[in-house]
Amino acid sequence: MTTTATAPTTDTELLRAAAEHVRRHDTAALLRALLPGLDGVELRALTDRCRFAHTALLVFPPDADALHRMLADAGLPADAPARPSTVVRERLAARHGQDASGLEVGILRPPVTGADGEQRVVEVFALTVPPGSDLSELACSERESQHEAHLGFEVDRPDPLVLRGLCALWERHGARPDGGGYNPHEDGTVLYFTAPAGSKAGFARVELYAPGDHRELLAEHLARHRAGQPAEALLRQLTGAWTTQALAAFAELGVPEAMDPQLPRSAEQLAQAVGADPETLRSLLRYLAMLGAVVQDGGGFRLAPSGELLRADAPGSLRPLALLYAGPFYRSFGELAGTVRTGQVAFDRLFGENHFDHFARDPYLAELFDRSMAASTRMFDPLPNHPAVRAAAAASTPGAPRTVVDLAGGTGELLARLLTAHPALHGMLLERPQVADAAREFLAGAGCGDRTACLPGEFADVPPGGDVYVLSRVLHDWTDERCREILRHLSAAMPAHADLLVVERLLPEDDSPSLATAWDLHMRCNVGGRERTAEHYARLFADAGLELVGHDPLPLDAHVLHVRKSASTPGT
């Protein structure tokens, strides 16, 4: 709340002023004052999707009875019990270097009718500060700064697309991300902004409140907030290695399997279930709650959706990736400076051989690697509907079925999806001998073993005569020279009518963020390959007599590149 020479100074006066503010204002007028550059179309977009819901402030009563008297003196009902405020508690703890567990902040929302007849509330955050309390200095500082005073707008129909659009509009008009949080006690997500410099709304801060759990978007919002605070941003980035190991330890100890998405369990209960030290496990769980993998709920913890993906039996489980990235790849990433200095692969220098050979020598790592390749299979979801696959299925006949050839296809996850979606198709899978055996077993279990041949071999053994060839996450493992060699084998085996589908992450042509940018560093340090732009892949295809027809996005920031034989290629 803006302070002036005549501004209210006691908690009761602040409550009266907040109630009067709610009574006098409506959504459209406040938005025009808050974001003076809004045009008519933007104002309509905002008023259609969010409404002025409350004016908020933080007060410091000596006890619960005093709070009720203050509310009554301000003309506000005081019959509703306070609920815990996770977000403001954490903000106060961070701002004043306090232990959050010692800050019992409650929320009350006494109703007020606005001038337009709309029902709104005064959002009252209350921290009890008895006379002589150690918190007296904190209370004095907060009364003076009014950090928690803000205007609140509640989002209607808060799907992620709407929320992202609203955040982008606020930021376009000068509002800056200023923190936020998820309150599990009421299942609501809070996004704070600093008001633009030209705002005439009388408040320095604004809240967008979205009912429900939107922590993925919240993480993006907080990242933009931290980007404006270089020291904090760098400290968080420097502790990224801790995140990798914390998630992997969580998975390795089997804690996700001992947890429930709905029912909280104490750290002591979980420690007994997995054989861990209760206090250290509680520390780990608090850290993972900050990451969004678990949720602190009362005195216990329950699994968040991202944490569920670390269960061994979860569909699309990422547990193998967590163990692989925190294991051998973690060790070799410690030699990244040497790779940047010399261009040599750190994994090869550290272990004396490339990762394929190293993993093949260790049954545990070999199985972990194969399962990690299947961990990101969500990116395959759209591929059965790719035009090239549908055309091959439509052209199949009982006497002459069309064939999909998956090269280095792992244990057959992608091929099984394609054949299951199109029973008229047959399949062939080329892999290393031990992996081909595992693929044969997987494809039989998927119900398409009688339509599939699993062939042991190398890229020089590409089977001819296929109708659709697939290279999924293969080319990024290799240098340009090796990619050209692989693609020439492919081109020689492909009939003129055949299609090639290449699944890879594409480096952006501009500076837009992409998972491919991170994977590019990983591939160079640990594997000896690289990620590439679509234009780079097009040049590699052309060198092998192939032509990039187009590319389409897939989940997990991947793309499918559609490739055909060039019309000028001999034999076409």
Q: What are phi and psi of 501, to 5 degrees?
A: -110, 120
Residue position matching structure tokens 């890229």: 459
Q: Which amino acid is at 353?
A: E
Calculate the alpha carbon distances from 237 to 94, 220, 240, 567 in Å.
Answer: 18, 14, 5, 49
**Locus of tokens 């290393």:** 432
Residue 258: DSSP 8-state: H
Q: Is position 68 annotated as part of the catalytic site?
A: no
Q: Which residues pair with 554 in a beta bridge?
A: 558
CA-to-CA distance for 386 and 92, rounded, in angstroms? Answer: 52
- Alpha-carbon distance of 431 to 410, in angstroms, equals 7
Cβ contact 305:219 at 8 Å? no
3-state SS of 137-205?
HHHHHHHHHCCCCEEEEEECCCCHHHHHHHHHHHHHCCCEEEEEEEECCCCEEEEEEECCCCCCCCCCE
Locate tokens 């050209």: which residue?
Answer: 484
Beta-sheet pairing, 50-59 with 452-456: unpaired
Give me 466's structure tokens.
Answer: 């296929």
Alpha carbons within 13 A on the beta-carbon side of 563: 30
Give how far Cα 330 sits from Cα of 321, 325, 497, Å. Answer: 11, 5, 44
User: Tokens standing for 243?
Assistant: 């995140």
Contact call for residues 427 and 452 (beta carbons, < 8 A): yes
Please identify which of the residues 214, 476, 559, 562 carries the catalytic annotation: 476
Residues that are catalytic? 476
